[in-house]
Chain A
Amino acid sequence: MISYDVAVVGAGPAGLAAAIACSENGLNVLLIDRSPKPGGNYYKSLPDSFERRDSSSHSRSPNSIMVRLGQVRLDRQFATEVWSIYPDEESDGWILGLHTSGSCRDIVAANVVLAPGAMERVVPFPGWTTPGVMTAGAVQSFIKGQAILPGKRFLLAGSGFLQLAVGAKLLAEGAEVVGIFESQPLTWKKRPPFRGLIGQGGRFKEALSYLGQLVRSRVRYRWGWTVIQVAGSDRLLEATVAKLNPEGVPILGCEQSFAVDTVVVGIGFSPAIELSLLSGVRHEYDKTLGATIPWRDGNLQSSQNGLYLAGDGAGIGGARLATLEGRIVGLALVTGEGKASAPHLDQELDALKRAHRREMAFVHWMNRIFQIPAGMYALSQEETIICRCEDVTRRDIVKAVQMGAKSINEIKALTRIGMGYCQGRTCREALARILAQETGEEADEWVGNHNLELFTPRPPIYPIPVIDFTRDQE
């Protein structure tokens, strides 16, 4: 088995920063990513083979970090997914199972940096499985990564900064947008704390530029509204939106419907914790984010030696925070490994941690104002599909609860929810909150007990054709 000082899982902003920091200081690094190109979902750029067009502002020309990546010496394993992680008793490091289409192999690393990024959160509602309903991240992927609009006539109904950014981008690209509906209400309570604004001028300029686009396009833009139903087929869709009360419950009588071909949903992000859960490190429930995250110390190391986490895969904070965290992890590893002990590295690490604390004030505010009200998980009706992979409906969940199921693992055993291809990534959160609603529990307190809101982790964390295990890459 090939052995490294550090294996970095994920080549987005956090993974790149960590891999570069480690390589720069002499560590032997393997950088792994599922995509054939580095950059993750943030630094998404058009394929080299495409004719160049003017680049979008949000992707922020990736030149400097990509140039740096090209300058440092490290091993790359792209178009590869990591399907397992085990502690290696022999070396006291970690064994990662890698899968590239057609074959599998294992590698050993003394240290691992997990930077797998996040998953978009979607609240199930009637008709959410209809083709043409897709996440803001999907739309952004198509525009940034493929120079294509995934539809002609859009309605956006979700929550968070990405919805605004994608809406503005669609308008700038000439798409028809019938409306942008933010589910959070606009209230004075959402004003940012002064501390959260320090150093964030660039962000607010960005937000203002998006709002400017909306104003110029005279698009309908409402706060406190969301999509409650999508009907139709063959991309002839009717999307119905409604105003929400402060608990996130639709107010009857104010519904409006629009004919579109694409409905863009997505109410935020939660960290992709499948690998970190499998590794066995300690996790905790972040009440502000409303999601389970891995516990980390001041150096962003997990509860186990030699496993670090950076970026959106450990908590939702965006690309700037992810880059900071990646570099913090890289330098902490480097100084920890004793490969380079230099006062300038310690100084840089201290400066990075100060910058991290400042950035966290802003991040904390963003996560707070976009908290998902529990009422939104009541949008799904009895016949609404909750588990898209296995076609498990809300009614099936209710029946399982009536049969005595008290945790999502028990509901999984009774209904097959979470047993499909996505392994519960899409439905887990909604399932936990629906279970809370059906058992009459106070959602956050109850969901916070992580044994109840997490499926038991087992490898492989992605479906792999058995035949690929028989073909070893040496």
Chain B
Amino acid sequence: MVVINGHPVTVCEGETVATVLLVVGQSTTRISAVQKQTRGIFCGIGNCFECRVTIDDVPNVRSCITYVEKGMRIETGGGEIQ
């Protein structure tokens, strides 16, 4: 069980945070620095940093290469400066 933007979500061990976001239909991972555009998963392998979310109050974590853990609190839509 993890919490995404305040909502509890059941997850499987071995899933990445990016996968779980896709499953619940959360396409926006972050808001861009200057133009405040919504961004989502792009390269999927940890190079582009578009998939950044805040996990357990730590910002800018790449969701595509981070695996879910019990009790994780995930927040999307963060901007550049937290």
Instruction: Give residues in A with beta carbon < 8 Å to B.
Output: 34-36, 41, 46-50, 119-120, 129-135, 137-142, 145-146, 148, 150, 233-235, 272, 385, 388-391, 420-422, 425-426, 463, 465
Asked if A139 meets B40 with Cβ closer than 8 Å, knowing A36-B67, A148-B23, A421-B60, the reply is: no
* Cβ contacts B32-58/A at 8 Å (1 or 0 each): 111101111111111111101000001
Contacts of A138 in B (CB 8 A): 41-45, 64
Which of A36, A148, A234, A426 contacts B47, CB < 8 Å?
A426
Separation of A360 and B12 alpha carbons in the complex (Å): 42
In the assembled complex, the CB of A425 is this many whole angstroms from the nearest CB of chain B, namely 5
Contacts of B27 in A (CB 8 A): 131-132, 234-235
Jot down 9 A-B pairs with beta carbons below 8 A, ordered by A.
A135-B43, A138-B41, A140-B44, A145-B16, A389-B33, A389-B49, A391-B32, A422-B47, A463-B49
Separation of A49 and B11 alpha carbons in the complex (Å): 12
Contact A137 B65 (CB under 8 A): no
Contact B43 A119 (CB under 8 A): yes
Contact B50 A388 (CB under 8 A): yes
* Cβ contacts B9-28/A at 8 Å (1 or 0 each): 00011111011001101011
Given A129-B39, A145-B16, 16 more A-B residue pairs with CB atoms under 8 Å apart are A34-B65, A46-B14, A48-B14, A49-B14, A133-B42, A134-B40, A134-B42, A140-B44, A141-B45, A142-B22, A388-B32, A389-B33, A422-B47, A422-B49, A426-B42, A463-B60
Contact B48 A422 (CB under 8 A): yes
B contacts with A, residue count (CB < 8 A): 37
Contact A47 B14 (CB under 8 A): yes
Which one of A131, A139, A390 has the greatest number of beta carbons of chain B within 10 Å? A131
Contact A49 B39 (CB under 8 A): no
Separation of A463 and B21 alpha carbons in the complex (Å): 23
Asked if A137 meets B39 with Cβ closer than 8 Å, knowing A129-B32, A131-B27, A389-B33, the reply is: no
Contact A425 B48 (CB under 8 A): yes
In the assembled complex, the CB of B34 is this many whole angstroms from the nearest CB of chain A, namely 4
Contact A129 B46 (CB under 8 A): no
Contact A150 B60 (CB under 8 A): no
Contacts of B47 in A (CB 8 A): 119, 272, 422, 425-426
Contact A34 B46 (CB under 8 A): yes
Contact B13 A49 (CB under 8 A): yes
Contact A135 B44 (CB under 8 A): yes
Separation of A421 and B33 alpha carbons in the complex (Å): 11
Contacts of B50 in A (CB 8 A): 388
Contacts of B65 in A (CB 8 A): 34-35
Contact B12 A49 (CB under 8 A): yes
Contacts of B39 in A (CB 8 A): 129, 131, 388
Asked if A148 meets B44 with Cβ closer than 8 Å, knowing A49-B12, A390-B34, the reply is: no
**Nearest residue in B to A36 (C-beta to C-beta)?**
B67
Contact B13 A47 (CB under 8 A): yes
In the assembled complex, the CB of A156 is this many whole angstroms from the nearest CB of chain B, namely 15
Separation of A205 and B14 alpha carbons in the complex (Å): 33
In the assembled complex, the CB of B82 is this many whole angstroms from the nearest CB of chain A, namely 12
In the assembled complex, the CB of A19 is this many whole angstroms from the nearest CB of chain B, namely 20
Contacts of A139 in B (CB 8 A): 44
Which one of B23, B29, B47, B49 has the greatest number of beta carbons of chain A within 10 Å? B47
Which of B13, B32, B43 contacts A134, CB < 8 Å?
B43
Separation of A148 and B35 alpha carbons in the complex (Å): 31
Separation of A49 and B14 alpha carbons in the complex (Å): 6
Contacts of B22 in A (CB 8 A): 142, 148, 150
In the assembled complex, the CB of A105 is this many whole angstroms from the nearest CB of chain B, namely 20
Which of B28, B33, B40, B44 contacts A420, CB < 8 Å?
B33
Which of B38, B44, B58 contacts A141, CB < 8 Å?
B44
Separation of A140 and B44 alpha carbons in the complex (Å): 9
The 7 closest A-B pairs by CB, nearest first: A47-B14, A138-B44, A131-B40, A391-B34, A421-B49, A49-B14, A131-B27
Contacts of A129 in B (CB 8 A): 32, 37, 39
Contact A50 B12 (CB under 8 A): yes
**Nearest residue in A to B13 (C-beta to C-beta)?**
A49
Contact B35 A391 (CB under 8 A): yes
**Nearest residue in B to A148 (C-beta to C-beta)?**
B19
Contact A131 B38 (CB under 8 A): yes
Contacts of A134 in B (CB 8 A): 40-44
In the assembled complex, the CB of A394 is this many whole angstroms from the nearest CB of chain B, namely 14
Separation of A403 and B60 alpha carbons in the complex (Å): 33
Contact A391 B42 (CB under 8 A): no
